[in-house]
Chains A and B, each alone.
Chain A
Amino acid sequence: AQTVTQSQPEMSVQEAETVTLSCTYDTSENNYYLFWYKQPPSRQMILVIRQEAYKQQNATENRFSVNFQKAAKSFSLKISDSQLGDTAMYFCAFCSLGAGGTSYGKLTFGQGTILTVHP
């Protein structure tokens, strides 16, 4: 079974600065996706960024980028130029693409990191 670990329960950053959220995962599979989801206070969860395990190039989406280290099973999220609207709970998630496995297409989430952006 896959596990996802986010070791930082809470983080804070000043507006306009950069922050990095950590995530490690454990799997024996070679074919999978990794995701970062954002859950703002009292609002619904939305996808921030995704990474395909077979791609060596790190994914980027505007101010959000990842550092994917497959051998180390590490998947961190960097938020540049932090904005007040980035305040949210951030979840790292793993999805197996191993055909025929019981976990195919199923998201496994970490415990989350609460990020607060201060003005």
Chain B
Amino acid sequence: EAGVAQSPRYKIIEKRQSVAFWCNPISGHATLYWYQQILGQGPKLLIQFQNNGVVDDSQLPKDRFSAERLKGVDSTLKIQPAKLEDSAVYLCASSLGWAGTDTQYFGPGTRLTVL
């Protein structure tokens, strides 16, 4: 079974530039999550999709971050414009359902450096 795929793996940009990350979840997984993991900290949930609807985006900085999940499969996370404090690893995860009983499978992450 293929795992969660993410691209790119690394990205370096200047502040105020835009960047987009892509995630392909495990086939058949209805729920998709984007996390932000700042160096030395645990992941923080940014947004959670159930199929192509948003379940929770309470911690997404909506003035600069946006995310979409077209057709309930792949998802993109965009930052526009980026700030220095956005430097982090962005993790995508997926699960079969959306209850805590369903294991979340994580992708390798995209490491973003904002200069």
Chain A residues with a Cβ under 8 A of chain B: 4, 32-33, 43-47, 50, 91, 93, 95-97, 102, 104-107, 109-112
Contact = CB atoms under 8 A, between A and B. Distances in A.
Given A32-B100, A44-B3, A96-B100, A106 B45 contact: yes
Interface stretch (B16-24, B60-68, B79-87, B105-113): B105-113
A113 to B, nearest CB: 10
Give chain B's interface secondary structure class: loop
Contacts of B99: 97, 104-105
Contacts of A32: 100
Interface of B: 3-4, 31, 33, 40-45, 48, 55-56, 58, 91, 93, 98-101, 103-104, 106-109
The list of the 10 closest CB pairs from A to B, nearest first, reads: A109-B42, A95-B100, A45-B106, A33-B100, A105-B98, A44-B108, A44-B106, A97-B100, A109-B43, A91-B42
